[in-house]
């Protein structure tokens, strides 16, 4: 269960609707029980407190995990840009035509990195093309190793290229594969619905509809769930991973013809 196919504002609206619906259903049920002569009890209040405490724990745990991965993705952009630039600099020592071909592929590789971060990008197609470029660049490195097995600069170039390939795997794993698992999303929304319904029951047993409090609760929980979904999203949302390092690298490489 992910929200990538849904606009980020749609996640907020859907979450708010779920919270309000839970409160309303709970309130109507509690009001119905009150009309039958039932009243609020300390035990019911304790149960509501326990449910909300569990929900708060789950939200805090998931938010921290999503925020940690977001920070890791930001650091990997810089690491990726550094690895590509290192490969570019060491490619300067390659003989023609390998040098020109390698630099051409590195320019395209950087453009692909930026395209992958764009909103609505076809990530699968970008990754497929990146894999093709990596294979072509590694073929050049392999040929260099066979023709000049004792070359110091050749060894340094291979090392830089290998590092660049490793960093991409880390970025793909962190951004595309390492996400909040679907079962956790299901548990979060189920706990939210149950918790809101229990609060609504308590309010209904009290006999007074407190619209302002209900709205504040709906907004609070919706914002937290929305932020978790936004932080977990690999592409653009409201909280973005800066691509400034990669953009600056692209401009630098394009100036060096």
Residue 1 has a pLDDT of 47
Domain residue spans of the chain: 8-255
pLDDT tens-digit series, residues 79-129: 999 999 999 999 988 888 889 999 999 999 999 988 888 766 778 888 899
Q: Map the chain to HEC letters.
A: CCCCCCCHHHHHHHHHHHHHHHHHHHHHHHHHHHHCCCCCCHHHHHHHHHHHHHHHHHHHHHHHHHHHHHHHHHHHHHHHHHHHHHHHHHHCCCCCCHHHHHHHHHHHHHHHHHHHHCCCCCHHHHHHHHHHHHHHHHHHHHHHHHHCCCCHHHHHHHHHHHHHHHHHHHHHHHHHHCCCCHHHHHHHHHHHHHHHHHHHHHHHHHCCCCHHHHHHHHHHHHHHHHHHHHHHCCCCCCCCCCCHHHHHHHHHHHHCC
More confident residue, 73 or 149: 73
What is the average pLDDT across 56-75? 90
Instruction: With a cut of 50, say whether residue 147 has pLDDT above it.
Output: yes
Question: pTM score, two decimals?
Answer: 0.80
pLDDT tens-digit series, residues 170-208: 888 887 778 888 889 999 999 899 888 888 888 777 766
């Amino acid at each position: 269960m992910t929200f990538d196919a849904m606009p980020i504002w749609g996640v907020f609206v859907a979450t708010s609707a779920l919270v309000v619906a839970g409160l309303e259903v709970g309130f109507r049920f509690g009001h119905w029980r009150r009309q039958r002569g039932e009243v609020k009890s300390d035990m019911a209040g304790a149960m509501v407190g326990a449910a909300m405490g569990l929900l708060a724990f789950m939200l805090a745990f998931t938010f921290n995990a999503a925020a940690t991965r977001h920070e890791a993705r930001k650091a990997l952009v810089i690491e990726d840009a550094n690895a590509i630039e290192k490969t570019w600099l060491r490619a300067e020592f390659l003989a023609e035509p390998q040098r020109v071909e390698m630099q051409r592929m590195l320019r395209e590789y950087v453009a692909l990195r930026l395209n992958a971060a764009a909103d609505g990008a076809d990530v699968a197609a970008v990754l497929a093309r990146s894999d093709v470029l990596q294979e072509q660049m590694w073929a050049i490195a392999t040929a260099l190793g066979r023709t000049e097995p004792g070359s110091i600069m050749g060894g340094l170039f291979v090392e830089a290229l290998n590092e660049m390939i490793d960093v991409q795997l880390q970025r793909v794993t962190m951004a595309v594969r390492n996400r909040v698992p679907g079962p956790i999303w299901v548990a979060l929304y189920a706990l939210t619905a149950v918790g809101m319904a229990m609060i609504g029951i308590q309010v209904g047993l009290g006999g007074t509809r407190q619209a302002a409090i209900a709205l504040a609760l709906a907004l609070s929980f919706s914002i937290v769930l929305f932020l978790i979904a936004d932080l977990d999203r690999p592409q653009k949302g409201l909280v973005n991973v800066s691509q400034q390092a990669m953009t600056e690298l692209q401009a630098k490489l394009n100036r060096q013809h």
